[in-house]
Amino acid sequence: MNSTDKSKFPLVVIVGGGFGGLEVAKALADEPVDVLMIDKHNYHTFQPLLYQVATGSLEAGSIAFSLRKNFDDQKNFRFRMAEVTKVNADENTIDTSIGEIAYDYLVIATGSTTNFFGNKDIEHNAMSMKSIPEALNLRYMILQNLEEAVLQKTKEEREPYLSFVLVGAGPTGVELAGALAELRNHILNKDYPELQKEHMKVYLVDFLPKVLGAMSDQASAAAKDFLTKMGVEVLLNVKVESYDGNEIKFEGGKSIISKNVIWSAGVTGVVPEGFNEDIILRGNKIGTDNICRAEGYSNIFAIGDVAAMVTPETPKGLPGVAQVAIQQGKNVGKNILRIIRGEPTEPFKYFDKGSLATIGRNKAVADLGKIKFQGFFAWMVWMFVHLISLLGFRNKVVVFVNWVGSYISNNGGSRLIIRRYVKEPVLMDEEAVPKSE
């Protein structure tokens, strides 16, 4: 499908195959519209389980699902694997890596990427985990550094390879810290008898005064207690100053020698070029009206992590969670059809279904409205919700079998180094590169 394709139906172009993009496409099924989804990957990623890919508990294929296969019964759906570089609103076209594509309605559902807050040294030396390739890189780095630790002769030489610092105590940091603590407590001595688990350190760092800042005080306190009992050192009210690949320094003088710094301290929206700068709000998000339409545009919508719906009730916008994107996607799909039919649109209203976070085996926290609970039952609820939310019957079965096997053996995962992870070198600025005469 390209800008020269002709159809009697309006063309809805969806940029992004995440939770929100999927719901827009599903809402338009069997309707008199053509749907074109564009994504740089040809699969949907179930991001809540990326940390299990990073720690070797799950294989990448079990949390990814083909976008084409997911919509193979939807006759008005097409997919193109490409990157969108610019929106040309005046011409109703977008520039992509496969050429120019026209649209009648455009939905930006590009999500977010890791925010390093302008610190280039941290961006280059720390690891992030927002995609499957990044999660696999993180897995290989962890395993390679454990292998390196085995080769070192003294405790001091092993320390940088066995120290893991997670910056950001949101759900990603908490869940990854718990997974690494379980790896140390139950697996390290089995796989690496030369190493002592007491020498492997896991630190969880945040500049806020609590872990899981978006959840209740009850959930935060329980999560911190779980982590502490598992041997994680939780450092709160601490701000990172720098990281050079060997030592992470904090304001106030404290530092940790580590080759394993994982950054999940913030996100920033992925916005294509071409939008009026006046509507790009904090966090690099597109400001929208109450039907998720980009401010100042009549036929462009933005949903999920890349959008900011600022209202008196939500002065900071809506939380960056999957449920927001899912509900917005359904609303936008229905409103596009209402606009086409000349019917009144329906304002978006977010219904908070609650928050869940797992810390490890038999340990999770749950805030479900006024009902708040922790421990084994919360862990069971967390597993059930995530299992039913996965795309594809095979993925559900594979993940369930992996979880059962890991629970019984307490030694799940493959932990194979299929390919080595090698950090890309820092490139010099063009003007700093000597030019030949």
Catalytic residue list = 175
> CA 100, CA 76: separation in Å to the nearest integer?
20
In 3-state terms, what secondary structure has residue 294? strand
> CA 435, CA 437: separation in Å to the nearest integer?
6
User: What amino acid is encoded at 5 in this protein?
Assistant: D
Q: By C-alpha distance, which of 208, 10, 224 is closest to 102? A: 10
What residues contact residue 313 under an 8 Å CB cut-off, 6+ apart? Answer: none
Find the distance separating the first CA and the last CA of the chain, reported in whole Å. 47
Cβ-based neighbour number of residue 255 at 10 Å: 13
DSSP 252-281: TS-EEE-SEEEE-S-EEE---BTS-GGGEE
- Please provide the size of the chain in residues: 437
Q: By C-alpha distance, which of 272, 334, 322 is closest to 297? A: 272
Q: By C-alpha distance, which of 300, 286, 288 is closest to 339? A: 300
Residue with tokens 């320094």: 249
Distance, C-alpha 140 to centroid of its chain? 19
Give the per-residue SS3 of 129-154. Answer: CCCHHHHHHHHHHHHHHHHHHHHCCC
What residues contact residue 389 under an 8 Å CB cut-off, 6+ apart? Answer: 46, 48, 322
> CA 388, CA 381: separation in Å to the nearest integer?
11
